[in-house]
Structures are given as C-alpha cells and as structure tokens.
C-alpha cells in the first residue's frame, strides 16, 4: 500500500506506474482517492475548528451565569449545542472517509523499482543469467510421477479417493528424499545466519490483508468456515504477520528468518499437462526465507537471497537460471521480483522453483510495523521473501536431473546424511 501523502503529491507518477503494470482500469482510483482525501481533510479541519469554538464558548457560559446574564448564557448554550450536533456528524464522517480511502489504497499497486523491465505478463520476463550447464541425456526421461512410481514413491489414485485431485501420498525413498531436502534446506539457511521458525499455519483475516492483495487472497487462500482464520499459502504470511502493530528496535535489524510450513492453495483454473502430477497441487511443504531490514539495505538483501537459492540448487547438481519478472507479472505489493528456474531435461526447458521478492514498505504499512531508530523516531522497514525450497517442484527437478539410464537416481553428497548415507535410489523391482 502506498503512502497517501506520496499519492497526493505525485498523482501522475502513481498513474504511470499503473500504466506500466498494464492495469489501466485502476487509473480512476487515483483521482477518486485524491477527491475523498480532500473531503476528509475538509471534515477534519471543520471538526477541529468547531472543537476550538465549542471549548471557547463553553468557558463563556460560566462567566455569563456568574454575572447574572442568563439570557446571553442560554444563547451561548444553544450555540454550543448546535456546534456539538454538527461535530457529532463530522466525527461520524471522518472514519467513513478514512475507511473508503483505505479500501481504495489497498487496490493501487506499489511503485515498482526503475530496474524492473516493462512487460505485459510472464511471457515478457527477462533471463538474466544461467548457473550450471543444462544437459539432455541420451535416454528417455519419463514423466516425474512415472519416475516416482518406479521408485515405489507415490500413490496418486489413493490420494484422489481420499482428498480428490491435487493431492498425493509420498512413500518410501521418495518420501524420505522429500524430508531430506527440507532438512538440508533448513540447515543450509541456518548456516547463512538465519533463525529457524515453525510458524502458525492459520492466520486472521487482518493479517491476510496485511501481507497480500485481495486478488491474490481470493485466488489462493482457503478460509476456515465460521471462523476468522485462513490456511496459509506460504509461511511468509504468518512470519511477516508476527510483526503486526509492533515497534521493532533498529538494533535488531536485519531480522533474518527461515521458516518451515505446509502450504495450502486453491490453484484455481485449468492447467496444462506439464502441470499435473505434483507440479501444481493444493497442499505442499516449503522452506522459506524472510528478511525485515532498513530501507537502505533491502536491495542488497534481495541480491543475497536469490543467490542463496542458486547456491542451494547447484549444491544438488541442478542447473538453474535467474529470470527478472517484468512489470505486468509483479503482484501489486512487489517492488521487484525474480524467479529461479530449474532445468528440466525431459521438457528441455526451465521451470519455476523459487520466487524472490522485495516488497518495499508495502507490507509494513499495511501491518502497521514500525522501526524505532536511535534518534527515537520511527519509520517503516522493508520486507523481503524468497523460497528456499518447495519439495514438490524441487523433486521434479531433482529426479529428472539425477536420473540414470537404468532408472536409478543418484543422491548428492550433501543429502546423504539426511538419507541414512544412501547414495542411490533404485526402482522397486530391483530393490
């Protein structure tokens, strides 16, 4: 959410930012906010003047009564009563105006960083760099669920009977691999100085509103019927939410946090054949990284965070690339974002496995987070988040890139301590 003062003083910059995000339908919102803000400030000004006049006149009543000037005192009382009635109207109007303004401000996108490429959608995202050499083996690579089935590691039909489409059972070595990847990612981030968290998996509606846009909420979140609780779509939601209405000592910045959670997502809409299996599902687990920092440090942290993802995937022998998200592909709260994509030798292309985002002070303003500086003044921090690893998609990249011609899958050295020393996963017919 933007600063209202910034919008008031820079309406054309805000409108151009909306155009850059190809959301022209939102352009009238800027003028609507400016008009409502002017009306609201007029109400506040009138109310302040009335309070001052009422207080001044109230003091006169006692003096007039003391001088025996009862008729004059009654006239002043009547005037005070009229002022009070009008003031009551204005005091009712002010919160109504402020709520209308807030609701509209929640719909206006954050100002994107000047470095963000201008583009309509994800088809215009820009490849920045590659890490590792993408390779295609001289044998056929089955679809990822077929690899898992041959390893005795997945039961899709049983999950369909129990929960419907978009769910799965993992079992055997594949389930163990899933847990190993999460444990390795946890320790990898702890090694980078991040504090490990397991957060609440349900959050209140005001926290949801604070961490994401209404559009994203409607597309993603499951609501608990009859309660003010939502299942989280990522642990970023509850991790950033923990700072709601808090004043953070500047000496505690940066806050570098890494959190594990299950994630629950509606994933509405039709998806192509490459997004079946465990690619796009309603429930999965993820390790996340979150940073709360001074505004001056946020871009430096942004660079560090996406590079951590690259380092982790490369340690598992998976080639990746960094893709800069264009303006039209940025969610409304984001200032800048990039995807880390893993190489799929089966598809002979890259696919998204991590998303790193700098949200500037948007979440902090929505959640009323503040930092108290050494000078005693408060300011809004910046918040950032990035996927460390989400095993469903990680497993696809892992199995495809480490598959051998005989159907076995090699386990990299960094994962072996989490796999009981196992160096190779073998098909069940050979186990």
Give tens-digit pLDDT for 397-427: 999 999 999 999 999 999 999 999 999 999 9
Task: Write the CA distances from 68 to 65, 72, 81, 386, integer angstroms.
Answer: 5, 9, 21, 75
pLDDT band, residue 111 (cuts 50/70/90): very high
CATH class label, 122-425: alpha beta
Q: Does the pLDDT at position 144 exceed 70?
A: yes
∠ Cα 112 118 121 (to 5°): 100
The reply to whether omega before 307 is within 30° of 0 (cis) is no
3-state secondary structure of 336: strand
**Residue 389 CA: distances (Å) to CA of 123, 178, 240, 316, 373:** 24, 10, 18, 12, 34
Check residue 146 and give its pLDDT: 95
pLDDT at 171: 96
Which segment of 280-284, 325-329, 349-353 scores lowest on mean pLDDT? Answer: 280-284
Of 264, 314, 306, 310, which is closest to residue 289 (Cα–Cα)? 306
> Could you report the per-residue pLDDT of 171-224, keeping only the tens digit for each?
999 999 999 999 999 999 999 999 999 999 999 999 999 998 877 777 889 999
Provide the strand spans (E) within 307-431.
320-324, 336-344, 349-358, 370-372, 378-379, 382-389, 409-410, 424-425
95-113 exposure pattern, b = at least 16 Cβ within 10 A, e = fewer: eebbebbeebbbebbbbbb
What's the whole-number average pLDDT of the chain? 93
Identical fold at 4-105 and 122-425? no
Checking if the pLDDT of 271 tops 80, the result is: no
Asked if pLDDT for residue 45 goes beyond 70, the answer is yes
Domains of the chain, by residue range, sit at 4-105, 122-425
Q: How confident is the model at residue 213, as a pLDDT? A: 83
Check residue 145 and give its pLDDT.
93
Band of residue 60 on the pLDDT scale cut at 50, 70, 90: confident
**What is the spatial distance between Cα 169 and Cα 264, in angstroms, rounded to a whole number?**
16
pLDDT of residue 431: 57
pLDDT at 388: 96
pLDDT of residue 33: 97
Least confident of 26-35, 79-88, 128-137: 79-88
- 4-105 fold: Helix Hairpins (1.10.287)
């Amino acid at each position: 959410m933007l600063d209202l003062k910034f919008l008031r003083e820079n309406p054309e910059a805000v409108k151009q930012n909306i155009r850059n995000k190809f959301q022209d339908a939102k352009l009238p919102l800027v003028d609507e906010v400016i008009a409502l803000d002017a009306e609201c400030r007029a109400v506040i000004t009138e109310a302040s003047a009335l309070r001052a006049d009422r207080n001044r006149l109230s003091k006169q009543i006692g003096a007039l009564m003391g001088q025996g000037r009862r008729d004059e005192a009654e006239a002043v009382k009547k005037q005070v009563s009229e002022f009070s009635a009008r003031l009551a109207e204005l005091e009712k109007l002010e919160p109504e105006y402020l709520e209308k303004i807030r609701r509209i401000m929640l719909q206006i996108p954050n100002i994107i960083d000047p470095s963000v490429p201008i583009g309509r959608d994800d088809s215009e995202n820009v490849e920045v760099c590659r890490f590792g050499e993408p390779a295609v083996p001289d044998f056929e690579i089955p679809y990822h669920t077929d690899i898992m089935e041959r390893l005795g590691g997945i039961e899709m039909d049983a999950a369909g009977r129990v929960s419907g489409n978009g769910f799965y059972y993992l079992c055997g070595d594949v389930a163990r691999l899933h847990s190993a990847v999460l444990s390795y990612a946890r320790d990898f981030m702890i090694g980078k100085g991040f504090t490990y968290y397991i957060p609440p998996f349900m959050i209140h509606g005001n926290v949801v509103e604070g961490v994401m846009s209404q559009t994203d909420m409607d597309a993603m979140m499951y609501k608990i019927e009859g309660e003010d609780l939502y299942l989280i779509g990522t642990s970023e939601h509850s991790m950033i939410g923990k700072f709601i209405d808090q004043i953070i000592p500047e000496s505690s910045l940066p806050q570098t946090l890494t959190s594990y959670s299950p994630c629950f997502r509606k994933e509405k809409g039709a998806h192509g054949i490459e997004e079946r299996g465990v690619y796009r599902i309603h429930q999965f687990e993820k390790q996340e990284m979150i940073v709360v920092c001074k505004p001056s440090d946020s871009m430096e942290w942004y660079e560090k965070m996406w590079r951590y993802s690259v380092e982790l995937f490369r340690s598992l022998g998976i080639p990746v690339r960094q893709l800069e998200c264009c303006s039209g592909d940025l969610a409304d709260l984001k200032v800048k974002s990039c995807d880390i994509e893993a190489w799929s030798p089966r598809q002979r292309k890259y696919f998204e496995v991590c998303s790193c985002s700098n949200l500037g002070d948007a979440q902090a303003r929505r959640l009323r987070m503040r930092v108290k500086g050494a000078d005693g003044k408060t300011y809004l921090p910046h918040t950032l988040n990035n996927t460390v690893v989400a095993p469903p998609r990680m497993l696809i990249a892992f199995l495809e890139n480490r598959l051998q011609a005989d159907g076995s899958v090699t386990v990299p050295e960094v994962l072996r301590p989490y796999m009981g020393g196992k160096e190779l996963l073998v098909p069940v017919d050979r186990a």
